[in-house]
Amino acid sequence: MGVKVGRVQPRRKQRCTNGGSIPPTSTMSKQQQTITKQLQNLYSWTQFYQETGNKEQIRKCQTEIAQLKKAYNETKTKKNG
């Protein structure tokens, strides 16, 4: 008997957003640029851990993301204030 060939289900795309668009680097301070790079890296790792099902690492990344977002927002407040 042959192997049954059916319709292949497309792989579900993981959504991992950064909470909005990233501003152009020309308007960001060096500290903001550094934080943005760290956030992008953490979002990538979070996506990887979601695909592999590593819940512990997902939580760690999400905690770090929250801390970095807070730090980024503080730099924006200082810049505008």
pTM of the model: 0.66
- Neighbour count for residue 45 (Cβ, 10 Å): 18
Which pLDDT band holds residue 81 (cuts at 50, 70, 90)? low
Among residues 75, 13, 12, which one has the least CA distance to residue 38? 75
How far apart are the C-alpha atoms of 63 and 45, rounded to whole Å? 13
Among residues 32, 56, 58, 36, which one has the least CA distance to residue 45? 58
Helix %, strand %, coil % for the chain, to 5? Answer: 65, 0, 35
**Residue 36 clears pLDDT 70, i.e. is over it:** yes
List pLDDT tens digits, range 14-33: 444 545 556 666 788 899 99
